[in-house]
Structure 1
Amino acid sequence: MALDPNLVGRTEGPWEQSWTADDALRYAVAVGAGQDDPVAELALSTENTTGVEQRALPTLGIVLAQFGGPQEIRLGDFDRALLVHAEQSLVLRRPLPVAGRMTLRRKVVDVFDKGKGALVVVETEGSDVDGPLLTTRSSVFIRGEGGFGGPRGASAGWSVPRGEPDEVLRFRTAVNQALLYRLTGDRNPLHSDPAFAARGGFDRPILHGLCTYGITCRLLVNAVCGGDPDGVAGMFGRFTRPVWPGEELVVSLWDAGDGNVLFRTANGAGDVVLDRGRFTARR
């Protein structure tokens, strides 16, 4: 098996990651802020608008924690084109600053045998001068690396809420959305290189799962938090289907009470692309 069998418990760090107000602006535009209406989300997309204080989207924290740093846990020797993002969570202890510096530590917390592939779960903790700031947990599925006899892992409890969604949000991605998003630091060639995408079984580059995740978060911030990203405490979603740049995203949400929202993101044809969604507003 090419996947390293001794991954669980492996750690990297600490290392430092800093970001600027320009990084926050770039990320917001990369996940569609201002794309439908250039004056609708100025707190995310500008830093010098009269009477508007800049804010950072919380999902920028995932990019800061998982990309661009000097540390990377080596999972083994396998074709990276066979690795896809499976699940992503984010927990914020307090609002993400527009600019700052944090110390990061990363750990492999689980490796599951899913038969046709392996699921590797990596957790990253970030702290700044004021203490713990965020935790991200990213699961990746590596096709062809299963069958090693490890635990399968329990399925998280989630079911589609009864009744029609309380609200439906729509956003059409741009045909160059992946090219914009890669400027945030996620340079996986699966989203830009046709030859690399073909090795993964795709006829053209697909949109980053984290771009779909970030777009969904932005739409939920507007719908649930009144446009204030500082109101977000956490988010979880499972990636179930690739998104092609240019496709419409449709987010259905159900209010579960106490600041909790369940959601699913589908493409324009109704195929779910981000499932089992949970979004938590700060109380």
Structure 2
Amino acid sequence: MSGRSEPVGGPSMGSTGEWRGRELGTKTVTYDETRPILYALAVGADASDLDLVFEERLRVLPTFALTLAQWAPDALGSAGAFDIRTAVHGTQRLRVLKPLPRSGSVEMKARVAEVWDKGSAAVFDVAVESEYFEATWSLFAPGRGGFGGDRGPSARRRPETSPTGSLAVRTAPNQAALYRLLGDRHHLHIDPEAAKTAGMPRPIMHGLCTLAAMTLPLASSLGAHPADLTELEGRFAAPVFPGDALQIDTWKDAEATLFEAAVDGKTVISAGRVRFA
């Protein structure tokens, strides 16, 4: 996978509110069908899912777009908006505009859509736009709040009614090792020593891998195809470890399906929302 990007300019880490509206540049990423096939396998597709893993019938999973656009939140951190050692990925949103090509080039542009003041921390919303999708990363940055900005919206709460459905999904022990080949090579997902340094007992799953992996069984439960995803949202509430079994509760909404995922009773993905065509 190759890409062409324009340099990012920005203020130093001293004026949190000034990052709002900051342009993060443009990037064109080129790939062949190998990448979306590898991606499908990394998020749980089976060898029998021929329209996800066989180039002759390939339909690209829409969440593959998030690997193409990962450069944008990385660029914001590199430009000095926050301390990349302590900032965490809080929420992810994706809206699909049209199917991604099996192979080719995708041009994207990115900006800081909003900066929210949570008091002791700030939340940076990084928006990426292309002809195929719109995606927003919400990045929680400790120590960057208190600049007098708006607190922003609260996360959607778990519905008070009983779930209308429930799914059990087990992640694979090698899933993080596979997913990191798509571009996110952070040592936390592969190196036990790096995980311990970060306060984890062992390497953890990528949040975007966990979220995308859930869309396959969710689609199946709704009688939809995972490549027909049109909207996805989720909040990363706690780490997931490769091999963990997820319990997914679902609720029907007016236009979408709401969901939460837990491991051993602890919520790991909250405020989930998914919609298929």
TM-score of the aligned structures, taking structure 2 as reference length: 0.86
Contact 1:109 1:121 in 2 (8 A): yes
Aligned pairs for 1:30-109 (under 5 A) are 30-34=42-46, 38-39=47-48, 41-48=49-56, 53-67=57-71, 72-73=75-76, 74-76=78-80, 79-109=83-113
Hey, what does 1:151 align to over in structure 2?
150
Structure 1 counterpart of 2:31, from 19, 41, 51: 19
Hey, what does 1:9 align to over in structure 2?
21
Question: Which runs of 5 or more structure 2 residues have no equivalent in the other structure?
Answer: 1-11
| Aligned-partner Cα distance in 2 for 1:215–1:115 | 33
TM-score of the aligned structures, taking structure 1 as reference length: 0.84
Q: Does 1:140 align with 2:156?
A: no
Q: Note the C-alpha offset of 1:245.
A: 1.4
Amino acid at match of 2:108: L
Structure 1 counterpart of 2:250, from 233, 250, 253: 253
The alignment's C-alpha RMSD in Å is 2.3
Question: Which runs of 5 or more structure 1 residues have no equivalent in the other structure?
Answer: 128-132
Say if 1:263 and 1:142 are closer, same or farther in 2 by CA, change over 3 A: same
Amino acid at match of 2:59: R
Say if 1:270 and 1:190 are closer, same or farther in 2 by CA, change over 3 A: same
| Aligned-partner Cα distance in 1 for 2:125–2:274 | 20
Contact 2:92 2:138 in 1 (8 A): yes
Hey, what does 1:266 align to over in structure 2?
262
Hey, what does 1:112 align to over in structure 2?
116
Contact 1:81 1:196 in 2 (8 A): no
| Aligned-partner Cα distance in 2 for 1:78–1:200 | 17
Q: Note the C-alpha offset of 1:264.
A: 0.9
Contact 2:158 2:260 in 1 (8 A): no
Q: Note the C-alpha offset of 1:94.
A: 1.8
Contact 2:158 2:270 in 1 (8 A): no
Q: Note the C-alpha offset of 1:22.
A: 0.9
Contact 1:225 1:232 in 2 (8 A): no
Number of equivalences: 263
**Percent identity (aligned):** 37
| Aligned-partner Cα distance in 2 for 1:187–1:216 | 22
Structure 2 counterpart of 1:277, from 262, 267, 272: 272
Amino acid at match of 2:90: A
Amino acid at match of 1:106: A
Q: Note the C-alpha offset of 1:61.
A: 0.9
Q: Note the C-alpha offset of 1:206.
A: 1.4
Amino acid at match of 2:190: S
Q: Note the C-alpha offset of 1:89.
A: 0.5
Aligned pairs for 1:79-228 (under 5 A) are 79-127=83-131, 133-163=132-162, 165-226=163-224, 228=225
Matched residue of 1:32: which SS?
coil
Q: Note the C-alpha offset of 1:116.
A: 3.4
| Aligned-partner Cα distance in 2 for 1:223–1:210 | 21
Contact 2:24 2:112 in 1 (8 A): no
